[in-house]
Amino acid sequence: MQTKHRAFDWFSLIVGIVFVIAGIASYMNPDDTLKFISICIGIGALVKGFYELWFRRGIGNLFGESSGWLLFMGIVDIILGLLFIFRAASGIIVIAYIFAFWFIFDSIAEIATAGYFKQLNRGYYILNLILNIIALFIGFVLLFNPLIAATTLVLIIAFYLILIGVIKIIQAF
């Protein structure tokens, strides 16, 4: 029986090392990581804003109608994008609150839909309910302490980058 020998994957090794270094750098420099996230969100908002203005113009040319809503949203997105880019500290605070609200809203949605699991598996239903009540509590803690939310976000990003980096390094062999 013939076995196939897989060649060493240099690309995966390099990507893995870069991700591990990025994860460690994120962990070691949380302020810079949050500023980078703020700038990335700002760039995304700018692109979205310009797209909405372009799309509004396209709709006007195609259908002969103009959308005030698209104009408004395009301008708001551009302003928010510029704020996130040039006022990164403000962007960091907004990101921390978004992270907290994400926990809260997701937990509320999970609690609201937990009843569906009651008939399927009562143990899972109870565990789901308990974990989402804890997550809801954590969401409120994050909401009232944005520093913890921002720090948690950086730790999650650093952990993710390191984890993906290690996976890529393993894939190289």
Encode pLDDT of 128-160 as tens digits: 899 999 999 999 998 998 888 888 888 989 999
Q: Which two tokens stand for residue 7?
A: 């060649």
The answer to whether the CB of 40 falls within 8 A of the CB of 85 is no
Q: Which stretch, 6-15, 54-63, 72-81, has highest mean pLDDT? A: 72-81
pLDDT over 90 (residue 6) = no
Over range 120-133, report the average pLDDT: 88
pLDDT over 60 (residue 1) = no
If we measure between CA atoms, which residue out of 14, 80, 87, 7 comes closest to residue 43? 80
The answer to whether the CB of 8 falls within 8 A of the CB of 170 is no
